[in-house]
């Protein structure tokens, strides 16, 4: 390395970006989490200008429906709004860099598993607008495993389930390679929608933000923790006026059950696709949960009971992907070993999207 390169490496803020469907997190190896904001942008309806990004945009949600449109550009795991995604990435990277020395960073980004090449390109372009030196991509599940503290370089298998807002990513990894991986469109949003629908059956209308609150306050998997009913405000659809309703925890869990079943089925499919010897080792290595969904009480126990594999929740599950990405970037060896997989992984994900599952092994 030349002196210039060494100096640059010393001052260069290498950053990992987790472009999640619900939250975007920016992490640097030496400064920790720099930015963590909702993946949301707000448009002014009259001229389609973007007036707020991140937390500020989420606060506008549903407040002024006619004049301001609040969009989640990555909702569902695909980029539905390229301009919004572009502005989101650029703004949050700028925000993360504002407190750092003005040296172009190296960036590693994680996109939702089912993102297509075109979507990766769009993200890359957005990142490029923020002026990095280099940009790399790594699948979210791989970053999640590293961020959760799992060793993906050894022969012992590491299994991770990352439950985000729009997607759940499941992977078994060894020797910096992917043994089996899948990405399904089930996540926190699925639960929120199910809770809205379940309450509508009781003739009570609530919005997605209230449903999310209910999920966080009263959601669980497995055995009921025995909490008091949670009171929410909304529209009483029988009397056609605003009202309050005390919602039982079992009603919330009932609404969430289908989504949890779908996640469990996807986990079984991955275990089925993993060679039996590795599955045997997984019984010792265990499964780690990351992403916001990992915080659902009882979920780890439920997955452990259904798969017979011990399951734990990672520390700071919401930061795992960004942390993992940053740490991968900080260890050139791991990055180098992961790189040959990147292209094949994109193709693998695409085949998933169009529904032709090929078997994928190292």
Binding site for Mg ion (CB under 5 A): 20, 164, 291, 321
> What's the min distance (Å) between Cβ of 291 and Mg ion?
5
Select the residue interacting with ligand ADP from 73, 84, 132, 188 (CB under 6 A): 188
Tell me the backbone φ, ψ of residue 14, rounded to 5 degrees: -75, 130
The Cα–Cα gap between 193 and 212 comes to 9
Q: Does 269 participate in binding ligand ADP (rule CB under 6 A)?
A: no
Q: Does 177 participate in binding ligand ADP (rule CB under 6 A)?
A: no
Asked if 328 and 108 count as a contact pair (C-beta separation under 8 A), the reply is yes
Residue with tokens 């992907």: 321
The Cα–Cα gap between 228 and 230 comes to 6
Select the residue interacting with ligand ADP from 295, 313, 330, 342 (CB under 6 A): 295
Residue 95, class by beta-carbon neighbours within 10 Å (0-12 exposed, 13-18 middle, 19+ buried)?
Answer: middle
Query: Smaller CB distance to Mg ion: residue 73 or 222?
Result: 73
Query: Smaller CB distance to ligand ADP: residue 12 or 182?
Result: 182
The Cα–Cα gap between 80 and 82 comes to 6
Query: Smaller CB distance to ligand ADP: residue 54 or 165?
Result: 165
Structure tokens at 269: 């499919």
Query: Smaller CB distance to ligand ADP: residue 181 or 279?
Result: 181
Select the residue interacting with ligand ADP from 105, 113, 132, 166 (CB under 6 A): 166
Query: Smaller CB distance to ligand ADP: residue 177 or 259?
Result: 259
> What's the min distance (Å) between Cβ of 75 and ligand ADP?
9
Q: What angle do CA 116, 122, 125 make, to 5 degrees?
A: 140
Q: Does 13 participate in binding ligand ADP (rule CB under 6 A)?
A: no
Query: Smaller CB distance to ligand ADP: residue 221 or 279?
Result: 221
Select the residue interacting with ligand ADP from 92, 318, 325, 329 (CB under 6 A): 318
Query: Smaller CB distance to ligand ADP: residue 272 or 316?
Result: 316
Under rule CB under 6 A, which residues in 209-238 are in contact with ligand ADP?
A: 212, 215-216, 219
> What's the min distance (Å) between Cβ of 308 and Mg ion?
26
> What's the min distance (Å) between Cβ of 187 and ligand ADP?
6
Task: Determine the 3-state secondary structure of 146 from DSSP.
Answer: helix
Size of residue set near ligand ADP by CB under 6 A: 20
Query: Smaller CB distance to ligand ADP: residue 140 or 274?
Result: 140
Q: Does 23 participate in binding ligand ADP (rule CB under 6 A)?
A: yes
Structure tokens at 86: 């572009």
Parallel/antiparallel/unpaired status of strands 106-110 and 15-19 = parallel
Structure tokens at 279: 């599955």
What's the half-sphere exposure (Cβ side, CA atoms, 13 Å) at 284? 6
Q: What angle do CA 141, 302, 273 make, to 5 degrees?
A: 45
Asked if 234 and 210 count as a contact pair (C-beta separation under 8 A), the reply is yes
**Which span (7-15, 48-56, 208-216, 258-266) binds ligand ADP, by CB under 6 A?**
208-216
Q: How many C-beta atoms surround the C-beta of residue 170 within 10 A? A: 24
Binding partner of residue 292 among Mg ion, ligand ADP, none, CB cut-off 5 to 8 Å per kind: ligand ADP
Structure tokens at 202: 């009781």
The Cα–Cα gap between 294 and 308 comes to 18
Interacting residues toward ligand ADP by CB under 6 A: 20-23, 39, 164-166, 188-189, 212, 215-216, 219, 291-293, 295-296, 318
């Amino acid at each position: 390395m030349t002196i210039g390169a060494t100096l640059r490496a010393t001052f260069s803020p290498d950053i990992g970006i987790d472009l999640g469907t619900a939250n975007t997190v920016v992490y640097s190896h030496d400064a920790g989490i720099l930015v963590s904001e909702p993946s949301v942008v707000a448009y002014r309806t009259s001229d389609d200008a973007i007036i707020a990004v991140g937390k500020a945009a989420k606060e506008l949600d549903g407040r002024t429906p006619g004049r301001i449109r609040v969009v989640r550009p990555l909702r569902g795991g695909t980029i539905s709004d390229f301009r919004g995604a572009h502005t989101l990435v650029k703004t949050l990277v700028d925000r993360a860099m504002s407190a750092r020395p003005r040296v172009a960073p190296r960036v590693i980004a994680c996109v939702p598993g089912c993102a297509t090449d075109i979507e990766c390109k769009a993200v890359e372009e957005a990142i490029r607008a923020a002026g990095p030196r280099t940009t790399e991509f790594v699948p979210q599940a791989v970053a999640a495993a590293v961020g959760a503290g799992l060793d993906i370089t050894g022969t012992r298998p590491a299994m991770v389930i990352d439950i985000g807002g729009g997607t759940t990513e499941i992977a078994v990894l060894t020797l910096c390679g992917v043994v089996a991986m899948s990405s399904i469109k089930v996540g926190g949003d699925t639960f929120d929608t199910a809770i809205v629908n379940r309450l509508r059956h009781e003739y009570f209308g609530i919005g997605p933000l209230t449903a999310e609150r209910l999920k966080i306050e009263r959601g669980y998997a497995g055995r009921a923790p025995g909490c008091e009913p949670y009171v929410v405000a909304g529209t009483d659809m029988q009397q056609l006026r605003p009202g309050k309703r005390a919602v039982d925890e079992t009603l919330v869990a009932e609404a969430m059950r289908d989504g949890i079943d779908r996640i469990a089925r996807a986990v079984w499919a991955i275990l089925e696709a993993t060679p039996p010897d590795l599955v045997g080792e997984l019984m010792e290595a265990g499964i780690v949960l990351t992403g916001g969904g990992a915080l659902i009480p009882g979920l780890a126990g439920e997955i452990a009971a259904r798969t017979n594999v011990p399951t734990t929740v990672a520390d700071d599950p919401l930061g795992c992907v960004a942390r993992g990405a940053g740490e991968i970037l900080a260890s050139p060896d791991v990055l180098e070993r992961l790189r040959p997989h990147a292209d094949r992984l994109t193709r693998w994900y695409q085949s998933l999207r169009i529904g032709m599952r090929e078997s994928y092994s190292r």
